[in-house]
Structure 1
Amino acid sequence: MDPDSIRTAERVPHGGETDRDLLDFSANTNPRTPEGVADVYANALEESRRYPDDDYPDYRAAAAAFVGCEPARVIPTPGGLAAIRLAMEVTLKPGDEALLPYPSFGEYAREIELQGATPRFVRYDELCEIGPTVLEASALAVICTPNNPTGDAIDSDALAAFAARCADAGTTLFVDEAFLGFTDRSSAAELERENVIVARSLTKLFGLPGLRAGFAVASGEQRDALATARRTWSLGTPAARVGAHCLRRDEFVRDTRERVASERERMREALERRFDVHESDAPYLLCDVGDRDVSTVIDDARADGVAIRDATTFRGLDSHIRVAVKDRAANDRLLAALGVDNREADDREID
């Protein structure tokens, strides 16, 4: 990390509501958690009287099976954000240039700048088309799939072709799959390319954002660099034990994917009666409120007990909100708070 850059950097806005009296649709986390989590956590808390095994063999084995790679390629991290920082620390130096998507997760630009590197913004849906001239001038390219906040997931063949072009240009490709677990798409970890680093977050899919568990996947020298740079005991014992437990709950993951897909479509149909809604593969929907004032839409929903994400904080968006996809009862409260009549969608489902 570049000391001079730290002094000029700023923090970026995120979803997540601190008022516990509000129903939080600003953060895209599963409202449910797998069975057995409380017991696993309680047992792990007692075991926290000793340092964890820094090799994390059980956690790495569970993570590897989840994304389809060898356990040796897994680098445990305390959340997806830690994987992002770790990857950028080992790939960027002051003066480098990095390609990143917009609109997309604001932490990418912040982490790039903290390394003293320069972000070069490219439309998220055009980044995979970048050619060799631009790639050769870039130390790093960032892909978010599904993209946050739009929700688009990148076609696997297109991503593989882009990874190959990055390799030819000597560019590291960083793929953030924080929300890919909500889909049945395969992980870029399966590409097993030495120029590709994948980041995963457990806490969104398994409804435990405060636990802070994630991992990176890499190969060859990149894997060795990440393993060396990773902080010792990077995961607390509760996070490692609960994380491994959650990663093996296949039925929970299947049920979550089915519920999110069904509720997302129902919500999209309802929300389109008032807003322009972006197609999504993720557990959230991006809505263009048009000529309505975004702050007013957010404040009105908040007055009805629902917090939603101001998406105008994302580069390139000036009339948007983002809403998470929760369970049916919560989603109905959101629709009501946004002044959306969803009775027609409900009637069609009953028919």
Structure 2
Amino acid sequence: MDPESIHTGERVPHGGEPDQRIRDFSANTNPNTPAGVSSVYEDALEESRRYPDDEYSAFRAAAAEFVGCEPDRVIPTSGGLAAIRLAMECALEPGETAVLPAPSFGEYAREVHLQGATPEFVAHDELLAVPEERLRKHSLAVVCTPNNPTGEAADPDALAAFAARCGESETTLLVDEAFLGFTDLPSAATLEAEHVIVARSLTKLFGLPGLRAGFAVASGQNRDDLETARRAWSLGTPAARVGTFCLRQDEFVRDTRERIERERERIREHLERRFAVSPSDAPYLLCAVDDRVGGAEMGAASDADDAVETLVESARAAGVAIRDATTFRGLDSHIRVAIKDRESNDRLLEALGCTRGRGTESTDTRGEIGGDGSSADGEAHE
């Protein structure tokens, strides 16, 4: 990390609602956790009287099986964002450049800046087409799949081709798969390319963002560098034990994927009657808001920026937190909403005014504020 860059850096906004009375659709976390997690955590807490085993053999084995790689390629980290920082610390030097998608996760640019490097932004849907000659000037390229906040996952063949061009240009490729576990798509860990680093988060798929558990996957010299540079005891005992347990809950993962896909399409149908909704493979939907939402319909605001603010405030007054997506680079009239369980999703539709007169099955819960227990991991990944 570059000391001079720290003085000029700043934190970025994230999703997440700390008020437990508010249903949190601003952070993209699973409202459910696997059965048995509490018991695993309690047993691990008792064992936390000693330092963790820094080898993390069981965790590495479970993570490797989950993404399809060898256990020795897994680098335990305290969340996906810790894996991203570790990768950038190893890949970037002050004065170098990195190519990043936009709009996308705001921490990429911040982490690049903290290394004393400079980000160059490419439209998220054009990044995989960047040619080799352009990649040559960059030390690092970042792909987010599914992209946050737009939601679309990278085509595996297109990603593999892009990874090959990164290899030819000697550019390290960091693939952030924070939300890939919500899909059936293969991990880039299966590419087994020495210049590719994968960052994974456990906490969103398994509904435990406060636990801070994740890992990186790398090969060759990158693997050795990450393993050497990672902090000692990079996972607490509870995070390591719970993470190992969760990664082996195949039925929970399968049920979660099916529910998310089903609910995402149901919610999309209702939201599209009021907003322009981006295609998504992720547990969230990006919605474009026009000035009619804030003005004619809500009696406030005369432009899209004010419309978003008005909509966020109106939803919160109805007991629902949604993400103001105008803080993402290039977005000036958008919100992002997470996909939760059916009852909570109906509450979201009601708060956004997408249920009245449409014959939905939404439960009438007006006048009360509820909480589904979801929490944020500070936009790691929002």
Cα deviation 1:285-339 (Å, max 9, x = unaligned): 0000122310000000000000000000000000000000000000000000000
Q: Hey, what does 2:138 align to over in structure 1?
A: 138
Whether 2:331 is the aligned partner of 1:313: answer: no
Q: Which has the higher contact order (CA 8 A, sep 6+)?
A: 2
User: 2:357 & 2:255 partners in 1: Cα distance?
Assistant: 25
Q: Give SS of 1:137's match.
A: coil
Mapped to 2, the partners of 1:238 and 1:132 lie a distance apart of 43
Q: Could you tell me which residue of structure 2 aligns to residue 62 of structure 1?
A: 62
The answer to whether the 8 Å contact 1:269/1:345 transfers is no
Structure 2 match to 1:188 = 188
2:352 alignment partner in structure 1: 338
1:117 and 2:113 correspond = no
CA distance, structure 2, for counterparts of residue 345 and residue 74 of structure 1: 49
Separation in 2 of the partners of 1:223 and 1:345?
Answer: 54
User: Identity, % of aligned pairs?
Assistant: 72
In the aligned structure 2, how far is the partner of 1:119 from the partner of 1:198? 19
Residues 141-197 of structure 1 deviation map (CA, whole Å, 9 limit, x = unaligned): 000000000000000000000000000000000000000000000000000000000
AA aligned opposite 2:284? Y
Give the aligned partner of residue 370 of structure 2: none
Say which SS state the counterpart of residue 336 (structure 2) adopts.
strand
AA aligned to 1:326 is: K
Letter in 2 for 1:325: I
Aligned-partner Cα distance in 1 for 2:357–2:167: 51
CA distance in 2, matches of 1:3, 1:320: 35
**What is the deviation of 1:133?**
1.8
Partner SS, residue 35 of structure 2: coil
Q: Distance in 1 between matches of 2:287 and 2:195?
A: 35
Q: Structure 2: which amino acid aligns with 1:297?
A: L
1:304 equivalent to 2:290? Answer no
Q: Aligned partners of 2:142 and 2:246: how far apart in 1?
A: 27
Shift of 1:345: 7.5
* Structure 1 equivalent of residue 301 of structure 2: none
Cα distance per residue 1:17-74 (max 9 Å; x no partner): 0111110000000000001000000000000011111010000000000000000000
| Equivalent residue letter for 1:316 | G
Q: What does residue 179 of structure 2 align with? A: 179
Secondary structure of the residue that 2:8 maps to in structure 1? Answer: coil
| Matched residue type, 2:257 | R
TM superposition shift of 1:202:
0.2
SS at match of 1:174: strand
Is the 8 Å Cα contact of residues 266 and 345 (structure 1) preserved in structure 2?
Answer: no
Gap change, CA 1:114 and 1:153, over 3 Å in 2 = same
Cα shift at 1:262: 0.2
Corresponding residue number in structure 1 for 2:164: 164
CA contact 1:102–1:122 (8 Å) conserved in 2: yes
The residue aligned with 2:371 is none
The offset of 1:346, in angstroms, is 4.6
Residue in 2 that maps onto 1:240: 240
Output the amino acid matched with 1:175: V
Tell whether the 8 Å contact from 1:104 to 1:148 is kept in structure 2 after alignment.
yes
How far does residue 344 in structure 1 lie from its aligned partner after superposition?
5.0
CA distance in 1, matches of 2:278, 2:42: 41
Name structure 2 gaps, 5 residues minimum: 294-306, 362-382
Report the secondary structure of 1:4's partner residue: helix
Q: Which runs of 5+ in 1 are unaligned?
A: none
Residue 82 of structure 1: how far off its partner (Å): 0.2
Aligned to 2:229: 229
Q: By how many angstroms is 1:239 displaced?
A: 0.1
Question: Closer, same or farther in 2 for the Cα pair 1:215/1:319, shift >3 Å?
Answer: same
CA RMSD of aligned residues (A): 1.0
- TM-score normalised by L of structure 1: 0.98
Is 1:335–1:342's contact at 8 Å kept on the other side of the alignment?
no
1:266-281 to structure 2, matched below 5 A, reads 266-281=266-281
